[in-house]
Amino acid sequence: MFILFASTKQMTTANRKLKEKEELKALILDSAKKLFLIKGVEQTTIRSIAQHIDYSVGTVYVYFKDKNAILNELHIQGFAQLSIQFEVLRHVANPMERLIAMGRLYIEFAMANPEMYELMFTLKAPMEALNEADDEEWKQGINAFTFLKATVLECISTGHFKGHQPDALTFMIWSLVHGMCSLHISNRITGVRLDNAAGMVPAGFEEFILILKKL
């Protein structure tokens, strides 16, 4: 795809337009994010997004193929956010400590941003969207998992987790933390009459830490 400019002036207006398009796209995304953090994904309609930014319904569809495309971008934003929170882990030299700190941060993120967490790790739509665009893969997820796995491998190389398979063990650790967050978000903890539902997740993680430290 080629765009030819006859003059500098044309180029700058084209650049401005590009910028404006980016801005409106970002505006739609911000609005969508804000709304579904309050109302939830299902309750956030294209109409409500449009209304919120004083544009028509059709305009939203000029900038996004469909609702899933919006969810997809927010899904990516969520991983960017988590990745930023993970930054501090770079300063934790001891891999075992880092592993535990990572778990804590993961849980913190999930509890603070349940809707975002669901979008990232539970809802099927984002994964299906990836399958459709066939050269696309779930880079965000792969990155996060790779980071976790690298830490597990470091733990192994410092003498921990003897006799364990790295892949399966990494997956198991992820599952444990995800499972707690998932059960919390889907209201199964209160459902099962465990008091202090919010406190149960850290408590469960503490049990796991006790176990980890022995390995």
Determine the Cα angle at 121 with ends 201 and 131, to 5°.
165
**Of 21, 34, 104, 213, the one binding DNA by CB under 7 A:** 21
According to the binding rule CB under 7 A, does residue 56 interact with DNA? yes
Contacts of 8 (CB under 8 A, 6+ apart): none
According to the binding rule CB under 7 A, does residue 81 interact with DNA? no
For 22, the 3-state DSSP assignment is helix
According to the binding rule CB under 7 A, does residue 214 interact with DNA? no
- Distance (Å, rounded) from C-alpha 186 to C-alpha 188? 6
Q: Quick one: what does residue 16 bind among DNA, a second copy, none, with the CB cut-off 5 to 8 Å set by partner type? A: DNA
| Cα 103 off chain centre by | 15
Q: Which C-beta is closer to DNA: that of 9 or that of 91?
A: 9
Query: CB of residue 177 vs DNA: minimum separation in angstroms?
Result: 31
Q: Which C-beta is closer to a second copy: that of 32 or that of 201?
A: 201
Q: Which C-beta is closer to DNA: that of 11 or that of 112?
A: 11
According to the binding rule CB under 7 A, does residue 55 interact with DNA? yes
Name the phi and psi angles at 185, rounded to 5. Answer: -65, -35
What is the 3-class SS of 76-140, one letter each residue? Answer: HHHHHHHHHHHHHHHHCCCHHHHHHHHHHHHHHHHHHCHHHHHHHHCCCHHHHHHHHCCCCCCHH
Q: Which of 50, 30, 48 is nearest to 39 (CA)?
A: 48
Q: Quick one: what does residue 214 bind among a second copy, DNA, none, with the CB cut-off 5 to 8 Å set by partner type? A: a second copy
Q: Which C-beta is closer to DNA: that of 58 or that of 159?
A: 58
Residues at the interface with a second copy (CB under 8 A): 121-124, 127-128, 130, 137-138, 141-142, 145, 163-165, 167-169, 171-172, 174-180, 182-183, 186-189, 191-194, 200, 203-208, 210-211, 214-215
Q: Which residues bind DNA (CB under 7 A)?
A: 6-7, 9-10, 13-14, 16-17, 20-21, 24, 43-47, 55-59, 61-63, 65-68
